[in-house]
Structure 1
Amino acid sequence: MSGRTQLMWDEAVTGYDFGRDHPMDPVRLVLTRSLVGALGLDREVTVVAAKTAGESTLRLVHREDYIDAVRAASADPASADQSYGLGTTDDPAFAGMHEASALIAGQSVGAAEALWRGEALHAVNFAGGLHHAMPGAASGFCVYNDAALAIARLLELGAERVAYVDVDVHHGDGVQAAFWEDPRVLTVSLHEHPRTLFPQTGWPEETGADGARGGAVNVALPAGTGDGGWLRAFHAVVPELLADFRPQVLVTQHGADTHFEDPLAHLAVSLDAQRAVQVACHDLAHEYADGRWLALGGGGYAVAEVVPRSWTHLVGIAAGKPVDPATMIPEGWRQEVYARTRQLGPVRMTDGRRPVSWASWEDGYDPADRLDQAVLATRRAAFPLRGLLP
């Protein structure tokens, strides 16, 4: 194996820019890459700029007419066709949109190829995780669904079982939709309850088409869920499913918008709990997927305080050089934060929630607890379809 971990990075991905005042500010990518460098993690990985996803690759998931619509809007943003979700408040059209979106997709697809061919064991594309894009429409700040495209490429290369675990605060609806009928893919999403957050999907009863029942698993978390409940839900669902499914590759999406400071959602998760789930995903990849792990970014709109730290931890974990949460952040990086955002950057790689504690599912079900009710609803809906006990 030529390199244990690949970090997928091409500065041109910052061209994925919906414009001033849009929450998806590409400065979060710039600051993440800069913090990775400031902590020396780029010396622990192979930094790779993969090629842009071409037409045939994009068509593994997306319809030809939609790709044509994205190209047209990219060339002339004023002509964007809103019937494809383009030119909307969430997904404004911008010049070069097709090229930037296809480049991000290419990084995830390239990472998947490297894992399957044994060129790397782990790969990280924190610019990716654009999980809302549908086969025929943009949605939720997402134009091309790089996560689904990476999975589709793995299947094309011969993978028979790929698991996708999404811990973004929003439901991973686009990835679920892409593989709704495909029993080769297990999609698991933990997200804020659809009653209180976009995209209003991801109910426990969404379990896959008739030929793939139990292939979609959804945990709808009550608004306000914090570290202990979030980790309890993750460990009550994900490990058992992966032990049963035995994926050949584990793909995970690590949207940082579960954080208590995120402005667009209502969970109360700390950076330290996010790091704990990243560690768990790494360990689960080694336990059940021969170590093959593709880790993606996703949402996250506290662009200076939260996102760079969360995804830098992700890179460190994938590189086998996890960052101590007590680590002080270099002053030079904090100065860059201020220069770019006029915000004061964080001082340490922790929210001070160490150690992060949680109660295992085996410790008992509390029928009065809304979090436990949510977990049990998922287990009852999906687990029997896989031959597992709820």
Structure 2
Amino acid sequence: MSSKSNALFIQHVDTFNYHFYAEHPFDQTRLHMTQDLLSRVGALQPAQMISPASASLEALQLVHRPDYVNAVRQLSEPLPDPDWILKAAAYGLDTDDTPYFPGMHQAASAIVGGSVAACDAVMSGRTQHAIHLGGGLHHAFPGKGAGFCVYNDASVAIALLREQYDARVLYIDTDVHHGDGVQWSYYTDPNVMTYSIHETGKFLFPGTGFVYERGAGEGFGSCVNVPLEPYTEDESWLECFQDTIEQVTHSFKPDIIISQHGCDAHALDPLSHMHCSMRIYKEMPRIIHQLAHTYCEGRWVALGGGGYEIWRVVPRAWSLLWLEMTDHPLIKQLNEAPLKPIPTAWMEHWQHRSPVDLPQTWLDNVNLWEPMPRRGIIQEHNTKVKNIALEYVR
């Protein structure tokens, strides 16, 4: 497979305007840093990049209620009408996590448009793979924003795939937070399989994603959740992921895979309690890539998502995703030399802005990390959850 013709990198300039307030953890600097890192290793060329159109109102309303879309538009004004400010709470747009902001509709519509364009490019045969790191806003509901998410780009893209191509869609969510908005959008649809591996909702937002959530009605069995214990490490995470997602894909046999790559299960992420390293962000794309070629002729769309250690984690994780997607030589080199150095020029360019020392290697040297107490108990619990999920799939 050729990295020059096999994959598209999709980015709408308005995505960078998706910005709540100065100290908010959702910081689009991570997009700039990722693109710059990829450019400096020669992995991202202008010919691979496209800028899509924003999503139309009609597309948004395939998932979101018209009154909600109207509320988002009204609250996007520089000075919203006081009546709309009073209504913001009813739509989940007045919280510290997801407050309304000027230009919100335009920025969120651009994000949806990017994911829609990625899916259309793959399903139409224009490309085998596509990546849209601005996407993956999986917590938005039909009539409510939540968890930093205003519009649910994955849900809208899936709706269009179903409408235009009658495609069977496998949605894989690897964010540390449960992919609730996508799950509930398709909970009764037997042609959309939603899979989410995440930190258990017993301790983490959004408080859902338990193994017994399996779909309803005709969609019963088309929802799989793998909730893992806090402080899960690489070995247990990857064992649970590989065993379950391989069985899910074999059973469902999708026409296209859409994967969400929030990278907030890393030990350094400030908004979760997991203890994984960069290794899982190299291995999960590899597994998904293989599944796409085995079951759906390579049709694979990758979206971004969470990730709040924007300096030391997100740029490396998302770069590894693109390197895998394009079969770049660097990803093979990392199999032999996981501690291969990050380009010095990239570190020098960004270090003056970073409040922490930037990483010097592509993967983490976990031998320098403190051993995790209760490792055996955590692994045992995760294996039980994995086995329950596998029984449900069979």
| Alignment partner, residue 363 of structure 1 | none
Question: In the aligned structure 1, how far is the partner of 2:19 from the partner of 2:36?
Answer: 18
**Mapping 1:195-344, distance limit 5 Å:** 195-321=202-328, 322-323=330-331, 324=334, 325-344=338-357
Question: In the aligned structure 2, how far is the partner of 1:223 from the partner of 1:193?
Answer: 7
**Counterpart contact for 2:5–2:48, Cα < 8 Å:** yes
> How many Å apart are 1:372 and its aligned residue?
1.1
**Mapping 1:165-180, distance limit 5 Å:** 165-180=172-187
**Counterpart contact for 2:171–2:194, Cα < 8 Å:** yes
> How many Å apart are 1:250 and its aligned residue?
0.4
Question: In the aligned structure 2, how far is the partner of 1:29 from the partner of 1:149?
Answer: 22
| Alignment partner, residue 23 of structure 1 | 25
> How many Å apart are 1:339 and its aligned residue?
3.2
> How many Å apart are 1:43 and its aligned residue?
2.4
> How many Å apart are 1:157 and its aligned residue?
1.4
> How many Å apart are 1:331 and its aligned residue?
2.2
Question: In the aligned structure 2, how far is the partner of 1:233 from the partner of 1:296?
Answer: 21
**Counterpart contact for 1:187–1:215, Cα < 8 Å:** yes
Count of aligned pairs between the two proteins: 372
Q: What one-letter code is carried by the residue in structure 2 that aligns with 1:270? A: S
Q: What one-letter code is carried by the residue in structure 1 that aligns with 2:10? A: M
> How many Å apart are 1:353 and its aligned residue?
5.0
SS of the residue aligned with 2:172?
Answer: strand
**Counterpart contact for 1:13–1:100, Cα < 8 Å:** yes
Q: What one-letter code is carried by the residue in structure 2 that aligns with 1:156? A: E
| Alignment partner, residue 37 of structure 2 | 35
> How many Å apart are 1:106 and its aligned residue?
0.5
Q: Is structure 2 residue 360 aligned with structure 1 residue 350?
A: no
> How many Å apart are 1:39 and its aligned residue?
1.3
Question: In the aligned structure 1, how far is the partner of 2:34 from the partner of 2:44?
Answer: 11
Q: What one-letter code is carried by the residue in structure 1 that aligns with 2:238? A: L
> How many Å apart are 1:241 and its aligned residue?
1.1
Q: Provide the aligned C-alpha RMSD in A.
A: 1.9
**Counterpart contact for 1:159–1:248, Cα < 8 Å:** no
| Alignment partner, residue 71 of structure 1 | 73
**Counterpart contact for 2:278–2:317, Cα < 8 Å:** yes
TM-score scaled by structure 1?
0.91
2:139 alignment partner, one of 121, 124, 132: 132
**Counterpart contact for 2:14–2:106, Cα < 8 Å:** no
Q: What one-letter code is carried by the residue in structure 2 that aligns with 1:350? A: L
Q: What one-letter code is carried by the residue in structure 2 that aligns with 1:118? A: G
2:153 alignment partner, one of 130, 133, 146: 146
| Alignment partner, residue 5 of structure 1 | 7
Q: What one-letter code is carried by the residue in structure 1 that aligns with 2:358? A: G
| Alignment partner, residue 386 of structure 2 | 375
Question: In the aligned structure 2, how far is the partner of 1:63 from the partner of 1:3?
Answer: 38
SS of the residue aligned with 1:194?
Answer: coil
2:110 alignment partner, one of 89, 92, 103: 103
Question: In the aligned structure 1, how far is the partner of 2:322 from the partner of 2:245?
Answer: 21
- 1:212-240 CA-to-partner distances (Å, cap 9, x unmatched) read 10011111101111101101111221101
Question: In the aligned structure 1, how far is the partner of 2:225 from the partner of 2:36?
Answer: 34
Question: In the aligned structure 1, how far is the partner of 2:89 from the partner of 2:379?
Answer: 44
Q: Which runs of 5+ in 2 are unaligned?
A: 368-376
**Counterpart contact for 1:222–1:374, Cα < 8 Å:** no
Q: What one-letter code is carried by the residue in structure 1 that aligns with 2:352? A: A
- The 1:247/1:304 distance shift into structure 2, 3 A limit, reads same
**Counterpart contact for 2:129–2:300, Cα < 8 Å:** yes
| Alignment partner, residue 187 of structure 1 | 194
SS of the residue aligned with 1:42?
Answer: coil
SS of the residue aligned with 2:122?
Answer: helix
> How many Å apart are 1:368 and its aligned residue?
8.6
SS of the residue aligned with 2:353?
Answer: helix
2:126 alignment partner, one of 114, 119, 124: 119
**Counterpart contact for 2:167–2:191, Cα < 8 Å:** yes
Matched residues, percent identical?
38
Question: In the aligned structure 2, how far is the partner of 1:150 from the partner of 1:220?
Answer: 25
Question: In the aligned structure 2, how far is the partner of 1:108 from the partner of 1:93?
Answer: 22
Q: What one-letter code is carried by the residue in structure 2 that aligns with 1:335? A: E
- The 1:110/1:368 distance shift into structure 2, 3 A limit, reads closer
